[in-house]
Structure 1
Amino acid sequence: MLTVFIGFFIFGFSENIKGPAIPRIQTDFGIDEMQIGTLLSLNSLGYLLACSFTAYLTRKWGAKTVTMLAFGSMAASGILIFASRSFPALSGSYFLMYIGNGMLEIALAILAARIFVGNTGTMMNLSHFFYGLSSTVAPMIASGLMTVSIGGHVLDWRGMYLIMLSLSVIPMIPTLLSRFPGEEEHGGERVPFTQLMRDPAIWLIVLVLSFGVVSEMAVGGWLVNFLEKAYHWNTTNASGMLSAFFLCFTFARLALGPITDKIGFTLSLILFSAFSGICTLIAIAVGESGAFLFAAAGIGIAPIYPTVMALIAKKYRSSSDSAITFIVTLMGVGSVIGNYLIGAITDGIKELVAGGADTGLGLLRGLQAGYAFIGVCALLCAVCSIILYGYLRKRNELL
């Protein structure tokens, strides 16, 4: 349990320190929003690649070894990011970081599915609460570290990544001291992978998770950029709003976990994702005065991932590793496409409105359209959850 909780805590740092860093990276390398979207998409490919082989490595080497390797990859990527002096070098270092993130995500999900056999929704949300907790403070810590001077040298984003990713060494200690449960301790008859692929429910879960995760993860990469460029907020205030999003996000997971067990996983997905999408779109429509709704959207999107993991753990208990790998791998494809589309929509609308000229209105409309896509993804998550609810209800399989 220490490995799961601390692991998610470190995972939150590695995923969400990029928000304040991206504008600095963009300035240092002279890249535009389209290239940022491409960078995040290529990184998601690393995540996707890791998801595709981690379950196999877990069965071959054991979850303990794979978890150690994931933490080690993340620490090594921090060193490489610090040493990067070109955009291709940074892209490669980020790619390695996302390899580690993907391996860690699958390893922790498999471990959690094996040990959280009671009150699954509550325990899954509790474990992901630690992800939200670190995500809440990550943007503020990142912003602060980038201004710290050591020996007359400012850490900037490179030094910040080095320090934050080095924290991955900490959860390696409880991992080494743990005895991880094996598949034989999990019980039940294993469902063949081909049979899983023929289950319509698993494809609906893929869509639910894909739209939900794009809406969740895109906030860390795009909210600070949006607030700085659309509303001319300074980095501290923009990072503060991102932290407010993760504050709502974190305590929603702590508070709403028992509710998912009480009202059912699928109904929870419908209600929470719809709330998040509506908050995001209203925030954009209202303008700067409605910026607090960007943070409020975190309340709705927070329970989506852990609730889907709880649904998988219950529905595919005897084959959770195969189901998690299949679903999360395809979710990774959706994440790649989603990040690319946000950058493409932003640049496309900017060019359309500005007509090729460099105007503030064109940039504003582009940023609004790109960020609106994040809200649309949350609403699509709700729509797919409604379809899943209907399918499971017909088969008397609602969880």
Structure 2
Amino acid sequence: MNLQTRKSRHMYTMQLATIFIGFIVFGISENIKGPAIPRIQFDFNLDEQQLGTLLSLNALGYLIACSFTAVLVRKWGIKAVSIISFASMIISGVFIYLSHTYPFFASSYFLMYIGNGMLEIALAILGARIFVKNTGTMMNLSHFFYGLSSTVAPLLATGVMSLTVFGHMLDWRGMYLAMLSLCLLPIVAALLSTFPGDDLQHEDRTSLKTLTRDPALWMMVMILSFGVVSELAVGGWLVNFLEKAYSWSTVEASSMLSAFFLTFSLGRLLLGPLTDRMGFVLSTILFSAFSAICTFAAIAGGERLAFLFAVSGAGIAMIYPTVMAFIARRYPKDSDTAITFVVTLMGIGSVIGNYVIGWVIEGVKIVYGATTELGILRGLQAGYGVIGLCAAICAISGIILYGYLKKRQELI
């Protein structure tokens, strides 16, 4: 093996390390909130509607980051943007630890989602540039690491919150500081790597205006928006649902959330190759429909079928990486522009989605009696039903896209 080959392999290893470790810390930062939310809600005396608004405002920070990250990537390159995004999450962890008033906490949480949004775009663009073969498999494999870290994140967060360091219990503030400090690891990997595609000439790119004339891109916005709302809402609402609807302990509810992310990560690891074989669009239809069916069955079946909340993860897990694979294949030279456009609009869906869930819960509780056990149960069931509905709409949008592409003989 000559020196040039060794250098190429080393560089590719560092690129993969940045992507894989990046998704690991991304999954941790996204999903440690499940066990923390009830405590945050108690400390700041928030109701479900206020909680939904908080999550929506943080999704707004994510959206804002998505809107400017592509510009930074073109000016500074993916390496610098990746490092900045990881660093911003570390800083937000420090601020969260120091926050003892709600405005300061909300601002710190907002900063964390700015970093998350920047990281989401950077990792997606890097994956689209590197994974030119077996795109669906590799995209799902990289996102598997997100699912893997998400699986252990709720239980890890629960354990860290109970730790005592120098006679002081970490609680949720210290837990966020400790977990977000792990972002130092991918910063090191990024510093040791270089990234492809930053030298592509602007004249070789298709303008955003031209890209938005493609109906397929807008249908991908629909699929991704509803799919991701259904995916991310589980991390924010499942523990809350199980604790309040069925009186589960925090450990039991966190275990179910971990089970969700276990099936989530196994789905991406084991089912990823199927997306290349079946086709990206057909895959999104089948997997999102499966997730919707499991979610509705879990709600209707009550506590005895609660395990289906976890099973639904195997379906919804496939949506995001499969859409990224579709974009990478359909727009090979303009993946950064297309990804930014789709993910930015997806962010709008996340803002609306979390707010709607909180609003539905509060509204139905009032109808059945806001302080009664039945009112709380029905409210939480209705709110979680929105998560299943989003997965169903994702499947319907996929069917429309499939028909459009098949008619034009452009199925991927």
TM-score, length-scaled by structure 2: 0.95
1:99 & 1:247 partners in 2: Cα distance?
27
Residues 143-182 of structure 1 mapped to structure 2, 5 A cutoff: 143-182=158-197
Per-residue deviation at 1:188? 10
1:271 aligned residue (286, 292, 302):
286
Per-residue deviation at 1:86? 1.3
1:180 & 1:26 partners in 2: Cα distance?
41
Asked if 1:361 is matched to 2:374, the reply is yes
Asked if 1:11 is matched to 2:26, the reply is yes
Residues 197-346 of structure 1 mapped to structure 2, 5 A cutoff: 197-346=212-361
Asked if 1:373 is matched to 2:386, the reply is yes
1:372 & 1:8 partners in 2: Cα distance?
28
1:318 & 1:221 partners in 2: Cα distance?
36
**1:303 is matched by which residue type in structure 2?**
M
Per-residue deviation at 1:152? 1.9
Per-residue CA deviations over 1:60-109 (Å, capped at 9, x if unaligned) read 01110000000000000000000111111111011000000000000010
1:214 & 1:140 partners in 2: Cα distance?
23
Change (3 A) 1:244 1:7: same
Change (3 A) 1:215 1:186: farther
2:206 aligned residue (191, 200, 203):
191
Give the match's secondary structure for 2:133.
coil
Instruction: Assess if the C-alpha contact under 8 Å between 1:186 and 1:318 holds in 2.
Output: no
Change (3 A) 1:154 1:277: same
Give the match's secondary structure for 1:318.
coil
Relative to structure 2, which stretch is displaced further, 323-332 or 182-191? 182-191
Asked if 1:383 is matched to 2:383, the reply is no
Instruction: Assess if the C-alpha contact under 8 Å between 2:143 and 2:268 holds in 1.
Output: yes
**2:46 is matched by which residue type in structure 1?**
I
Per-residue deviation at 1:276? 0.1
1:25 aligned residue (25, 40, 60):
40
Give the match's secondary structure for 1:317.
coil
1:247 & 1:186 partners in 2: Cα distance?
42
Aligned residue-pair number: 397
2:318 & 2:204 partners in 1: Cα distance?
29
Identity of aligned residues (%): 66
Per-residue deviation at 1:187? 11
1:5 & 1:135 partners in 2: Cα distance?
13
1:115 & 1:189 partners in 2: Cα distance?
18
Give the match's secondary structure for 1:180.
coil
Relative to structure 2, which stretch is displaced further, 30-39 or 187-196? 187-196
1:92 & 1:183 partners in 2: Cα distance?
32
Per-residue deviation at 1:183? 4.0
2:202 & 2:115 partners in 1: Cα distance?
29
Instruction: Assess if the C-alpha contact under 8 Å between 2:357 and 2:386 holds in 1.
Output: yes
2:407 aligned residue (374, 388, 394):
394
Change (3 A) 1:300 1:329: same
1:288 & 1:223 partners in 2: Cα distance?
13
Instruction: Assess if the C-alpha contact under 8 Å between 2:78 and 2:198 holds in 1.
Output: no
**1:130 is matched by which residue type in structure 2?**
F
Asked if 1:66 is matched to 2:88, the reply is no
Instruction: Assess if the C-alpha contact under 8 Å between 2:229 and 2:387 holds in 1.
Output: yes
Per-residue deviation at 1:184? 3.9
Per-residue CA deviations over 1:316-362 (Å, capped at 9, x if unaligned) read 111000000000000000000000000000001001111xx521111
1:110 & 1:182 partners in 2: Cα distance?
9
2:213 & 2:247 partners in 1: Cα distance?
50
Instruction: Assess if the C-alpha contact under 8 Å between 1:145 and 1:156 holds in 2.
Output: yes
Aligned to 2:139: 124
Instruction: Assess if the C-alpha contact under 8 Å between 1:140 and 1:240 holds in 2.
Output: yes
Instruction: Assess if the C-alpha contact under 8 Å between 1:70 and 1:103 holds in 2.
Output: yes
**1:260 is matched by which residue type in structure 2?**
T
Instruction: Assess if the C-alpha contact under 8 Å between 1:187 and 1:318 holds in 2.
Output: no
Per-residue CA deviations over 1:13-38 (Å, capped at 9, x if unaligned) read 00000000000101111110001100
Gaps in structure 2 of 5+ consecutive residues? 1-15
1:24 & 1:136 partners in 2: Cα distance?
20
TM-score, length-scaled by structure 1: 0.98
Per-residue deviation at 1:182? 2.1
Residues 89-128 of structure 1 mapped to structure 2, 5 A cutoff: 89-128=104-143
**2:57 is matched by which residue type in structure 1?**
L
**1:361 is matched by which residue type in structure 2?**
L
1:381 & 1:168 partners in 2: Cα distance?
32
Per-residue deviation at 1:186? 9.9
1:195 & 1:187 partners in 2: Cα distance?
14
1:361 & 1:188 partners in 2: Cα distance?
61
Per-residue deviation at 1:195? 0.6
2:97 & 2:197 partners in 1: Cα distance?
37
